Chain A
Amino acid sequence: MNKVSRWVWGAAIGVYAFLYLPLAIVVLFSFNDSNLNAEWVGFTLKWYVMLFNDEVMLEAALNTLGIGLVTCVVATVLGTLAGYAMYKWRLRLLPVLVLTPIAIPEILMGVSLLIFFVMLNMTLGLVSITLSHIAFCIGFVAIVVRSRLQGMDESLVEAARDLGASPAMAFRKITLPLIMPGIIAGALMAFTLSIDDFVISFFTAGVGSNTLPLEIYSRVKVPMKLNPEVNAVSTLLMMLTLSLILIVSRVAPNALRAE
């Protein structure tokens, strides 16, 4: 067992290194005194100074975070319901509707949502972006939650029911805590997908509703603006989200943990 676990540890550390190698470069270069973003020159904080004076970028970051959080909450609730329903009952339509948004090319989804919103005469903006993000995130949550439920021991739920718990009560007290790791995994994916989305956001964004990916991609053609300020905002957003999660888990420890 010891030899095996040493091997597993080694592999896991290797994978973490793979995940963090590019991130290290992103963070490191946010302190790099060169606008090339390609090789280490010297330490500076000027990109952070530039960032704090760049209203456009800060607003985009805030929009991104807001859209990400709302998307995460709504998609997680809807996705959990969908995942549970797909596990519990033999449904025809729902599984197809859950899988297709993942399979369909983003650009088709972006164009079709734009046409749809225009038909509804809806003002494009943060709301339309959020609605669209929720639509493509539900599937990710649902699939993870269902896989968590599969092969679950039903006897606990039945025991609770035998003891007089209502189905809703049994779900809340037994099933929900059991599938919590699946829900958290789904929520993390939904949040990640939302804050990183470009294509669908581009089409469903309206006048002045900028998100971070939209701002950064529009700078690709303007290399003088695609400088380490972008690394700085990435680093900052990451830290902000991390502290948000840590605070939530301190204030309400049970909200994030499966017990």
Chain B
Amino acid sequence: MSKPVYGRVGRFAKWLISAPPLVYLLIFFALPALIMMFAAFRFPGDYGGLLPLTEVDPETGKQTVLITLDTWRDYLTFENFGRFFEDAIYLELFIKSFWYAGLTTLICLILAYPLSWLIARSNKKTRDLLVLLVILPFWSNFLIRVYAWMIILGPQSYFSRMLNGFLGWFGIEPVSLLFSQFAVIIGLVYVHLPFMVLPLYANLEKHDMSLLDAAQDLGANAWQRFWKVTWPLSLPGVWAGVALVFIPALGMFAIPDLLGGTNSMMIGNLIKQQFLDSRDWPFGSVLSIMLTLSVLLLAAVAAWAGSRHKKKD
């Protein structure tokens, strides 16, 4: 891989380049997030929020710290984590969400690959336009786009009627598309598709065509050229796309809310419920930590597998 840059200049460059994003993320992401991570060990307030650790005297305005070495047990607890493990429904919900997100990612990859390949292969002028055309629909409002899908999937749409007419020929009962798991998957694929196309395009754009020509000269057919040349070279782009689709899809709640039926709940809905309806921020934080950890674990395993694979080559 890349050669490390040594010496004082190199270290200075490393600092100069990595510090701005690092500092920004530390201040505006890590610090605030740690506050809420810490909430996972606290008790919910009786009326929402968290059980306060300090108390302000209404008359003097003096603040007293309630949590001390003697009383910390009344303010800090592992119980919230215990609740996660003592009931199978949370695990079940995790598995279901991973399945939805995985399926979404796979469909996105299948849809995005030919499109990205085509964009990357077209001439420079049309290329920019084609990329822009991929993202353009996503500058209209999310809710309005999903409402449009509700019209398309609704029982009175041409699409539904045509499909059911077709199924009727085979004597199959008419199906209802809206408010179903099918609608949820369609919605998830739709909102995440550009996040697969763009990284893939960014990767495929740099491929050297002469490699493919050489392969063709050596008698490789189209499938072999794809499988032996294009696909392995595009893997970094595939991984980037998979990460940018799978991870956000995992935490999605708006799509199941809008398009789902009576059993389309995902882990994102549960987390939202904890922060809002349940007013149970500590448990919401526990679920968030579990979700984040599982994603990081998955990423670490993927990176490890990737590096092992490379060594074998």
Point out residues on A near B: beta carbons under 8 Å. Answer: 1, 3-4, 7-9, 11-12, 15-16, 18-23, 25-26, 29, 37-39, 77-79, 81-82, 84-85, 87-91, 93-94, 96-109, 111-113, 115-116, 131-132, 134-136, 138, 140, 142-144, 146-148, 150-152, 154, 167, 178, 181-182, 184-186, 188-189, 192, 195-196, 198, 212-213, 216-217, 220, 230-231, 233-235, 237-238, 241-242, 245, 249, 256-258
**Contact: B193 with A19, CB < 8 Å?**
yes
**Contact: A23 with B137, CB < 8 Å?**
yes
**Contact: A146 with B244, CB < 8 Å?**
no
Give the CA-CA distance A238 to B26 in the complex, in Å: 33
B260 on interface, CB distance cutoff 8 Å: no
A contact patch SS? helix
Give the CA-CA distance A107 to B276 in the complex, in Å: 9
* A18 CB → nearest B CB, Å: 7
**Contact: B198 with A188, CB < 8 Å?**
yes
Which of the segments B17-25, B58-66, B80-88, B177-185 contacts the partner chain?
B17-25
* B137 CB → nearest A CB, Å: 4
B203 on interface, CB distance cutoff 8 Å: yes
**Contact: B291 with A22, CB < 8 Å?**
no
**Contact: B114 with A242, CB < 8 Å?**
no
* B223 CB → nearest A CB, Å: 9
**Contact: B21 with A143, CB < 8 Å?**
no
B138 on interface, CB distance cutoff 8 Å: yes
**Contact: B28 with A147, CB < 8 Å?**
no
Give the CA-CA distance A71 to B54 in the complex, in Å: 36
**Contact: B237 with A147, CB < 8 Å?**
yes
Contact of B138 among A11, A106, A192 (CB under 8 A): A192
Give the CA-CA distance A103 to B295 in the complex, in Å: 7
Give the CA-CA distance A206 to B135 in the complex, in Å: 29
Residue interface mask B114-146, A partner, CB < 8 A = 1: 110111000010001001111111111111110
* A93 CB → nearest B CB, Å: 7
**Contact: B17 with A85, CB < 8 Å?**
yes
List 9 other contacts, CB 8 Å, given A22-B148, A103-B247, A113-B28.
A8-B118, A11-B115, A104-B292, A111-B281, A151-B236, A154-B2, A188-B194, A189-B194, A192-B138
* A181 CB → nearest B CB, Å: 5
Contact of A38 among B18, B139, B151, B250 (CB under 8 A): B151
**Contact: A182 with B21, CB < 8 Å?**
no
B275 on interface, CB distance cutoff 8 Å: yes
* B161 CB → nearest A CB, Å: 13
**Contact: B288 with A94, CB < 8 Å?**
no
Known: A104-B33, A115-B35, A181-B206. A144 touches B240 (CB 8 A): yes
Residue interface mask B265-297, A partner, CB < 8 A = 1: 000100110011000010011011001100110
Give the CA-CA distance A184 to B117 in the complex, in Å: 17
**Contact: A148 with B3, CB < 8 Å?**
no
Q: Which of B26, B156, B288 has the most CB of A within 10 A?
A: B288
Give the CA-CA distance A256 to B156 in the complex, in Å: 44
B72 on interface, CB distance cutoff 8 Å: no
The 6 A-B pairs with the shortest beta carbon distances in the complex, nearest first, are: A147-B240, A116-B32, A22-B148, A82-B21, A85-B18, A234-B140
Give the CA-CA distance A35 to B233 in the complex, in Å: 51
Give the CA-CA distance A71 to B275 in the complex, in Å: 27
**Contact: A181 with B205, CB < 8 Å?**
yes
**Contact: A113 with B32, CB < 8 Å?**
yes
* B182 CB → nearest A CB, Å: 15
- Chain B residues within an 8 Å CB radius of A216: 141, 143-144
Give the CA-CA distance A196 to B140 in the complex, in Å: 8
Closest to A14 in B: B111
**Contact: A178 with B206, CB < 8 Å?**
yes
Closest to B25 in A: A97
Known: A19-B134, A144-B240, A152-B206. A108 touches B33 (CB 8 A): yes
B 190-217 contacts with A by CB, 8 A: 190, 193-195, 198-199, 201-203, 205-206, 216
- Chain B residues within an 8 Å CB radius of A108: 33, 36, 271, 275, 284-285, 288
- Chain B residues within an 8 Å CB radius of A26: 140, 144-145, 148
- Chain B residues within an 8 Å CB radius of A105: 251, 268, 271-272, 287-288, 291
Known: A25-B152, A105-B271. A94 touches B128 (CB 8 A): no
**Contact: B124 with A107, CB < 8 Å?**
no
* B232 CB → nearest A CB, Å: 10
Residue interface mask B1-38, A partner, CB < 8 A = 1: 01111000100011001101110111011111101100
Contact of B18 among A94, A132, A147 (CB under 8 A): A94
**Contact: A85 with B137, CB < 8 Å?**
no
- Chain A residues within an 8 Å CB radius of B233: 151
- Chain B residues within an 8 Å CB radius of A151: 233, 236
**Contact: B272 with A107, CB < 8 Å?**
yes
Contact of B21 among A81, A104, A220, A249 (CB under 8 A): A81
**Contact: B3 with A8, CB < 8 Å?**
no
**Contact: B36 with A112, CB < 8 Å?**
yes
Give the CA-CA distance A80 to B35 in the complex, in Å: 28
**Contact: A1 with B222, CB < 8 Å?**
yes
Contact of B275 among A98, A111, A178, A256 (CB under 8 A): A111
B174 on interface, CB distance cutoff 8 Å: no
Q: Which of B21, B136, B254, B275 has the most CB of A within 10 A?
A: B21
